[in-house]
Structure 1
Amino acid sequence: MVMEKARDVLVIGGSRYFGKRLIARLLAAGDRVTVLNRGSSAPPAGVVHLIADRDDEDALRAAIGPRTFDVVVDQVCYTPRQAAIARRVLTGRTGRYVMTSTVEVYEYEDSPTLVSEAAVDPLAVSVDLELPWDDPEFLDAHYGEGKRQAEAVFAAEPEFPYAAVRVAHVLGGADDFTGRLDHYVDRIRTGTPIAVPRTNHPATYIHVDEIADFLFWTVGQDFTGPVNAASHGPLTTEDLCEAIAAHIPSGSVVFRTATEGETSPFSFARFYGMDNSRAAQLGYTFTRAREWLPEAVR
């Protein structure tokens, strides 16, 4: 059997949730993995650990030094400023750059059907580096816009081969730090009303292990541009609550209509559904959300 050549992979961030699962898959495949973060958490054994604040271009350049990589996977690029720094530092240093993006780039695409990557063309997105991207409150309120503009920075340089993995809402894993499913568990257990918009739309999701698998697969591919990563089949808030209530027989599901700013996580006043056919055409087969939902909730 012919063994595939080990790859040199830099992961920026990746210290928790599906990032650490990606690193585990790369190591298991025999890849040489370098992890860069601010040093607040130690990476797993077997990786080279670089410490730098990615927002400090000089520090990032010094930390990377003369190293080159086959692939960079950027788990924590949230703004066009961060993207511009990464592109300047890593141009000529990597054969390919994979950015984890988000379904939130489609926040302005109020479509009743699944949206494809073409709905948001990074080359058509305006970039404003002067916005207060360093302000946590501004960044939190403009999460989708930050990701959109970051994609645009990479897309603007044709000599910088990049892919943007637009990740659906992620579920599963005991280490889910977001607290979004906990929100529903607590309310169903106590019978506390769950705030939802008047018209509550479904969304597409992906299991935490499946997005780690997809990112690992992407590392070994050569496609560029955006790609949607989502399991087949949208889920509603009611679907999530039904799956949770199956494990809490003494609980009850009570919904309360609320304004958009007060609604529960995973309840949407618009449809957040992604078409995953590009990934399928490239050769990746996603699972169906209803198949893994019960175990993810359990």
Structure 2
Amino acid sequence: MSRPFRLLVVEGNTKAMRERHAAVAGHTPSAFYAAVLEEAAGWEGLKATVDIAYPTDPGANLPDGAGLASYDGVVITGSGLNLWKGEPESLIQVDFAREIFRAGVPFFGSCWGLQVAAAAAGGEVKLNPQGREVGLARSIRLTEAGRAHPMHAGRGDVFDAPAIHSDEVAVVPPGGTVTAGNDLCGVQAAEIRHDGGVFWGVQYHPEYTFRELGGILERYVPAMVAEGFVRDAQEAEKHIADLMTLDADPVPRDVAWRLGVSPSASDPKARRNEIVNWLARQVAPTASARGRA
């Protein structure tokens, strides 16, 4: 390609939330996602430069339609917000997602990103009555549409993935196609076509390393105990420590076995499958068609 892809990462968290995250992890969710996109592009022999937008910040100067059209792809991160609460910080992101759809730019999102895109297209997000999915989303199954969808090319029919969420897409919007689900969450991945744009998204977090996931779970220890995932804080900390060791190379076989972590989750390239496919199969062809590659 003649130039790097120009991508935009939309930070889903408020300033206070991302600063709290950075205090533990050393980076904000959007900065982490930007680095993942650059690395994943490199796996495909591509290059990417990444800008970051902060829609929840007062006075944020968000790109308009023309500004969005100057990007080759837009990604929305996860977030600690809940759409069903109807907070202004959430609703402004739904409005921004509508602008992204209208701009016709390739669009991707993890967890919160999927929820925001679904709401922007006329779907509904609710608190999952089955409870929280924490650590790993188990036995995610591709639907018939998902098995044929390029977002999941290279995936097995059943896989695990890092996840942390209590909300779900309860009503799929018009133009939405569910491509994966599991017993706890019926919409684990979807394509959404709306107002001239195409969104690919997942409820899980293909971008996460296990160290990133473990750092996030540190904040959820009280909830993990209260909701019965572990018996006490010490058990939670042991589980988190085990998760973090899975970033070692090679992956410790005993820890992976003890936690029941499959290769689909433990191998970095397999884990980031949907991100790589989005870059190679959505961003690259679209940029080429626009004469931008």
TM score, norm. by length of structure 2: 0.36
Q: Which has the larger radius of gyration?
A: 1
User: Which has the larger share of helix?
Assistant: 2
TM score, norm. by length of structure 1: 0.35
User: Which has the larger share of strand?
Assistant: 2
